[in-house]
Structures are given as structure tokens and as C-alpha cells.
Amino acid sequence: MTQMTLGGAINSGLRRALADDDKVVLLGEDIGKLGGVFRVTDKLQEEFGPRRVMDSPLAEAGIIGTAVGLAFRGYRPVCEIQFDGFIYPGFDQIVAQVAKLHYRTRGKVKMPITIRVPFGGGIGAVEHHSESPEAYFAHTAGLRVVSCSNPQDAHTMIRQAIACDDPVLFFEPKRRYWLKGEVSEDLGADTLPMGSARVVTEGTDVTLAAYGPLVPTAMDAAAAAADDGISVEVIDLRSLSPIDFSTVEKSVRKTGRLIVTHEAAQSGGIGAEVAAAVTERCFDWLEAAPARVTGFDTPYPPAALEEAFLPDLDRLLDAVDRVMGRRNSLTGWKATA
Amino acid sequence: MPDRAECAVLAGVVVRIGYRRYRLKDFWQRRQMLWAAAIQTPAEHERKLRVTVSTIHEHTKTETLADGPETDLHPSQLEDIVQLISPEGVRTESPGFDPWVADVTDDQLVDLYQDMVVIRRIDTEAIALQRQGELALWAPLLGQEAAQIGSGRALRKDDFVFSSYRDNGVAYTRGVDFGDMLKVWRGIASAGWDPYAINMATPAVIIGAQTLHATGYALGCTYDGVDSVAISYFGDGATSQGDVNEAMVFASSFQAPVIFFCQNNQWAISEPVRLQAHRHISDRAPGFGIPSIRVDGNDVLAVMAATRIALDRARRGGGPTFIEAVTYRMGPHTTSDDPKRYRPAGDLEEWGRKDPISRLGRLLESRGALSDEVAKRVQEKADAVAREMRAACIALDKELDPMMLFDGVYEEPHSGLERQKSQYAAYLASFEGGTA
């Protein structure tokens, strides 16, 4: 076990993947000499050379499309999209080619491409640097979508994503890049599969499903609710396509209440999917309507407004009150100092 | 290598100041000599060329084409185009390109002739099948036979093709199974063949997307230490796409062994090429650092020579080459299109005179290589292919098992899709006669 930051754990996972398989190649903007704007690929080019770790021209469609060709030739490209909001020029190649080539060719052509995307807000950035576009990709057949929330998962899941024969959108919670934790590089047979959710805090009253940057926030909310005598079970979804509904279902059958949270806008989001699926599967167990705590249906706001936009501890606790049938912001309750 | 930039600038000067045609010929002869020099001593020549290009730029920097007076000379009328067989069927000399096809015997020319006749026959038969309701759609290649056969026959088996949907003639050169070729058009598959079986990706429908795939594949070839080349086929319309331009950037930066083969058939559905490019399409590549060749796309021999040059450059580590094969789409965009709504009167007649098959036929006749017996053999081959293709088409079952919907979306199981699949299976089983 080594103490690592979340970003460092991805770096060590990439290093292992590069060392384990000659066919793994990294490409992206500024990932070589600079080591990426977040230093996630730090020193990898030095170690593996410019063919394995390629600085690409500044063109996202070019990065993804070139990766498609490399995959055709048997390579396992790992693309870095520098920031969430920059992914759209590559959107066509992702949804029309990467996602569909396996289906189009009935599995003759595999697309084992990993697309790494630092995502989410909370870092005081300018426009296009704080978005959460995961739902677009979870909505696209042929792609797998995952997000890590802690250093160990970051390391494990990036290696699993690269080893996966399907294309994987790998969303990295950029405001948690500096989160520290113990990481083992030894992935045993009991390692949780990439598509599985994990119960990170056990509880009996409310199920709170989160992923990526909001998992630590959700755990804080569980601790705060415990002070109020409410037992919150926190689930780190980890995978957004597929979503491990069996873990969520099992939890909700125990708690009877569901809250889903994400930074992405609400409508048509992952929260809507989780709430709908849980309602379909656990209707008779539900004590309250599922609640969503999400970003608003606005473009990501300027930095000075992002605190208002992002789900935080208080908004999560307000939702806990709501599903518990306690007084909450929607019933006219006012917080007192 | 001679650089299109030089040619473009020269062409610009010529157009702008209204030199007469003999000046264009001078220019073209000079260009062919440059090519000849390049073939002999590429490294030395490139050094020389840089000097030449910079000199030309120096000379003309204050007079750009955009500043010049309007010209009524349509780009396709310019003569800087490689042609080895004239529309009249006369073999013309070209010092730069002749060596590249010096080995092509009359018998091989007959083979190329037969290939073109065959794919035209395939095209005709496919249109008939569409009209009879056996195919849902077809994208005719009529008129583009030389571009597809000349390039396709220049390739090696281990080269890899990334094409568009009109390139069924290229697929023929790769040995595609006719049933496989028709599956998409019959509506029973999203792609017809196993790309690795014939080293040709199934056609991209999103315009230009495949140029990036070719570039990445080519990069993989260099990583693998093999001298295979990737070639991407696309049309004049595709050159407006970001993907094509990005592909040229990537190919140039990484010196990928890739050929950008543009069949400029003058039309992107109803849009004439001048809407995509105000100058020759081949003029673009030099801006990316990619040498380009503008070739008579209805001249199978010239296309083959150009493709061989590009292949040779790529195999020797010389990087990408851009080929603009100037041709004409004699048919509709697809069987759903009506070109009468946009095609100017006279176009078909004009381009009919440049027909790729009849010009090679005339050349072969003049050499006594196309006897009645040979012509009969060619026609029989074409008819046999058509019969085989029709039979393969009819044999393709249009009734698919609904559960095929779910096949091949993922390589590894996906729990969400598995659930939908099992629920749909249960739904189907709930009907009378269904099986649980």
C-alpha cells in the first residue's frame, strides 16, 4: 500500500497498463512533456517514449478518430480530453464511430478505447472547464461510462477500463485529484469489477447514491445526518453505464428511501435514470418519492456562482429531510442559526 | 517531392494574369520534370524544392489569388492534371509518371478494362435490384470506374482501405463477397463484411470520418514496423469536413503512411464542387505539408501511377500523399436522388466523352489488344458476375430474428442491456407460438 493522490493513482494505473501491454498507447493534448495540465500523465512519456505517450495536435475529433484507427490495428488507445467541455468536437467520433463500430461489424472490430475526461466543477474555472457531460455518453449504446471517487478506485478502474474490450468513458473528478488515500497496485481476484457499485457507508433510513466528486460530499452528509439520528447508506455508483441497479435495489429495499445526486444538470440525467429504475423495481418498498439533488438546468455558471449551482452538504441534508417526511425547504421550513 | 504549393502559386499567377494555354503547358512540363527528379533523388530534390517554393512565394507574395481579377476559367479546365490516356484513347507521354506504369502490359491493361466493365455491370445490376425492390438503396459509381480500379489495383493485400459508401468498385478489387457487399443496401446489416478478411473497413456513412481512421491505422503500421499503407477514399464534399482536415494535420505531424484519395466527382448530392472548394481540392494538402497529385480520375493508368507513387512514398517513410482524382458522377447520388433537379444540361454529354472505359477500349483497339474474342470474354465475365451477385442478393434472408437487435453492442456483458434483452425475449415468448 502506498499513499497516493487520486491523480497520482491514475498515473500509477496508466504506468502499469503501459508496462503490462505493448498495445497500450496514450494520446492527448499536452500529455507528453508537460504530463497533462493536471499532471496525470506525469513522466510517462519520459519512461515509455513519444510513441507510447503521444502529444497530439490540438483537435479532439482527431484524437478520437486516430484512436479508432489504432484500435482497428489492434492497439488499446487511451485518449485524454483535457477538460470536460472540450469533448464536444470529438462527440461525433465517439458516438458515431467508437460506440457503434463493434455493433456495425458484429464484433469483428473491437474498440478497446479508453477516453479519460477530467470533469465537474468546484475549481473556480472559466467556462467549459467545469462541466459534467456523462449523461450524453451513458445514453449512447456501445459505450461504458465510469467515474472514480477515491485513489484506490482511480488506480483499479483505469486499469480495468484499459483492459476492457469495449470503449470506456472514464470520468475523473478533477476537484478530487488531490484527495489522498492508500493504494494497492496488487489487483487480486476479489477486486470489484468495473461495472459494480459499492456501498461506502452503511445505513438503514435513506439510500444516497452518488458518483465521482460528490461521493465525499455524500459521506459528509451521512455523518451529519447521523448526528440527527438518521442513518444514511451511501452508494458510490462507480459505473454509469451499466448502472449496478442490483446494489441500489438491495439498499432501497432496506431503507425505503432514495436520493440521487450529481453535479450535472437534472433533466434527462443519471439521477432521472436511477429514480425511474428504482421506482420500477422497488415501488412497493418505497416510503417516499425518490429525490434528486443536482446541478440546475442552466449552463455551468461563472465561478462566483458555482457554489450555488453545485450540490453540497446542506442541499443533501435538505433532501434527507424531504424523503424522511421532515420539515424541509419545500414545506416552508426555515433554517435558524 | 514537388509540392502542390508551388503548383498552386504558379497556377494562381497564370489564372490571374491571363497567360495563354501554352504557358500552362510549360508549367505542366516543368512540374512533370520535378516529379521525375523527385523519383530519382527524393532527398536532394526536396532540398532543391524548398528553395524553389520559397523563391516563388517571395516573388508573388504581394499578389495573391484573392486579390486578382475574377476569372471565368473553371478550375477543372486547368491543365495541371496527370493524364496518360487521352479521352480519345491516345497514350500520352509523361516523364514523371510513365516509369510508374512501365511494367503494365497490354494484357494487364485488358484486365483493368475488364475490371472496369465488371464494376459498371455490378452497378447496373444493383440499380436494377433496387428498382425491383430487392435492395433498399444503392449509391451508383457510374463514371468513377477508373478512379476506383486504378487505385484499388495498385494496392497490396496487406494495405488497408477506409472507404466511403460509393466505393464498391474498390471493394471488388479487395475480393469482397457479393452477398456481403449487398447486405447494407438490402437493409439487413449495418455493415456487410469482416474488415480483416479483405483488409477494408466497412464504409463510413458519416462523411469524412474514415480519413482519421486511416491515419490512426497507418500510425499503427509504423509502430508495428511494417510497410503496409492505409488509404482513405472520400469525395469532394468530404474535404469540407473537420475530420478530413484534422486527419491531414495528424497524418502530416506524425508522417503517417496514409493516402488521402479524393474522388472529386464534382457533386456532393446537389452541391457543385465549387461550393466546397474555390480552388483545386488538391491545393489544400500542401498547406498541411502533404504533397498532392491531381490526376485525371477517368484515366485508369494515370490513377494507378499516382497511387503507386503515393504508396511508394508511404512505404519508404515519406509520409502521407493526397490524390485528387478528377472524375464525374454520371448517375444520381443514390437511387433516391433526382439529379435532373440540379445537373446542368450538357454535363453528361461532356463527361461522357471522357468516359473511362471507352477511352481505354480505344487505346486497346489501337494496339490490337481488344479483339472481338477478348471483348466477348470481358462481357461474359461481367454478365457472370452480375448473375452471381443477383443470386447472392436474393439468397440473403430479409427475415431477421428480432433478438438479433441485441447482438454485438458490447464485447463484454452489459447488465442494463442484458435486462432489456431478457425482458424483450419474455415479451416475444408471451405471444401465441412463442417459446419461453
CB atoms within 10 A of CB B27: 20
CB atoms within 10 A of CB B133: 7
Integer distance in angstroms from the first to the last C-alpha of chain B? 67
Q: What is the mean pLDDT of chain A?
A: 97
Task: Note the pLDDT tens digit of each residue in B64-116.
Answer: 333 333 434 343 444 589 999 999 999 999 999 999 999 999 999 999 999 99
CB atoms within 10 A of CB B433: 5
Structural contact between residues A64 and A92, judged by C-beta atoms closer than 8 angstroms: no
Structural contact between residues A155 and A104, judged by C-beta atoms closer than 8 angstroms: no
Tell the residue number behind the cell numbers 440473403, with chain if given. B396
- Residue B56 reports pLDDT greater than 50: no
A129 flagged as catalytic:
yes
Residue with more model confidence, A262 or B46: A262
- Residue B312 reports pLDDT greater than 70: yes
Stretch A14-30: mean pLDDT: 98
| Distance of alpha carbon A170 from alpha carbon A162, whole angstroms | 10
- Residue B37 reports pLDDT greater than 50: no
Range of lowest pLDDT (A125-139, B77-91, B369-383)? B77-91
Q: Which three cell numbers stand for residue B84?
A: 496518360
**What is residue A75's predicted lDDT score, i.e. its pLDDT?**
98
Stretch B356-376: mean pLDDT: 97
**What is residue B433's predicted lDDT score, i.e. its pLDDT?**
77
Q: How confident is the model at residue A335 (pLDDT cuts 50, 70, 90)?
A: low
- Chain A to chain B Cβ contacts (< 8 Å): 147
Chain B interface test: which of A48, A51, A52, A66 (most B C-beta within 10 Å): A66
B408–chain A Cβ distance below 8 A for any pair? yes
**What is residue B35's predicted lDDT score, i.e. its pLDDT?**
53
Chain B interface test: which of A24, A64, A68, A250 (most B C-beta within 10 Å): A68
Q: How far is A162 from chain B (nearest CA, A)?
A: 13
- Residue B44 reports pLDDT greater than 60: no
Stretch B293-322: mean pLDDT: 98
Structural contact between residues B164 and B202, judged by C-beta atoms closer than 8 angstroms: no
Torsion of CA B50, B54, B55, B61, to 10 degrees: 160
Integer distance in angstroms from the first to the last C-alpha of chain A? 43
Structural contact between residues A108 and A164, judged by C-beta atoms closer than 8 angstroms: no
Stretch B290-296: mean pLDDT: 97
In chain A, residues 190-249 whose CB comes closer than 8 Å to chain B: 195, 241-246
Task: Note the pLDDT tens digit of each residue in B239-269.
Answer: 999 999 999 999 999 999 999 999 999 999 9
Q: How confident is the model at residue B14 (pLDDT cuts 50, 70, 90)?
A: very low
The ipTM of this complex is 0.96
Q: How far is B227 from chain A (nearest CA, A)?
A: 13
Range of lowest pLDDT (A66-80, A157-171, A248-262, B12-26)? B12-26
Q: Which residues contact A130 (CB under 8 A, 6 or more apart)?
A: A84, A85, A120, A121, A122, A123, A300, A306
Task: Note the pLDDT tens digit of each residue in B110-157.
Answer: 999 999 999 999 999 999 999 999 999 999 999 999 999 999 999 999
- From chain A, pick out residues whose CB is under 8 angstroms from the CB of B209: 65, 92-93, 96-97
**What is residue B29's predicted lDDT score, i.e. its pLDDT?**
55
What letter does residue B315 receive in the DSSP assignment? H
